[in-house]
Amino acid sequence: MNYPNGKKNGSDSLKSSQKSETTFSNRGMTLEDDINETNEYYLVKGKAVIHKKPTPIQIVKVDYPKRSAAVIKEGYFKQASTTDYNGIYREKYIDFEAKETKNKTSFPLANFHDHQINHMKSIISHGGICFVIIRFSQLEETYLFPAKNLFLFWENQMNGGRKSIPYSYIKKTSMEIPLYFQPRVDYLTIIDQLYF
């Protein structure tokens, strides 16, 4: 630990490998953490009920080393997951995916799968609100990108087109979500502007 005067604390026992572990732990989870905190804030304040969807897992093998403990040794995903989050806001069904990229110039479509696109199309066809929250981590920018804007790029990719969405297109057709202390990623304010 360094004090403001520049002198090191003599009891500093952290090694450089431990520092890098601490610094880089939970990388790639920051957007998810921010959204989870935001959803908890919305729930407590009575604004919306939106949760992260659990991934269904089939447990195949369990060991019982003690009577009071079970250890899962083998398990498989039961089915392909759809999107990350769903819930209800202002009497409308909300369904969205959260994605983060280090890329500064585009968002790779490889982050999505056919079943997710089909799920999003189905949500929209039934009158739900569906979108992607995209964070460009290197630029420190987060956007609410309507799912309908994604479909054109997905279809073009399937027909030999580009395999990413340009950053400039996302910036033009999305709304940036500013970061706050609470709620951290206030995407409901953006939903109000885009959908209500």
For residue 129, what are the β-bridge partners? 94
Pairing of strands 85-89, 49-52: antiparallel
79 is in an annotated binding site: no
**Residue 68, phi then psi, degrees to nearest 5:** -90, 0
C-alpha distances in Å from residue 35, one per residue of 101, 109, 155, 162: 16, 21, 28, 29
173 is in an annotated binding site: no
Of 81, 130, 102, the residue nearest 30 (C-alpha): 102
CA separation for the pair 40, 180 (Å, rounded): 14
CA separation for the pair 50, 86 (Å, rounded): 5
Q: Are the C-beta atoms of 162 and 156 separated by less than 8 Å?
A: yes
CA separation for the pair 145, 130 (Å, rounded): 9
Q: Are the C-beta atoms of 133 and 142 separated by less than 8 Å?
A: yes
82 is in an annotated binding site: yes
32 is in an annotated binding site: no
Annotated binding site for Mg(2+): 82, 84, 97, 116
Q: Which residues are annotated as a binding site?
A: 82, 84, 97, 116
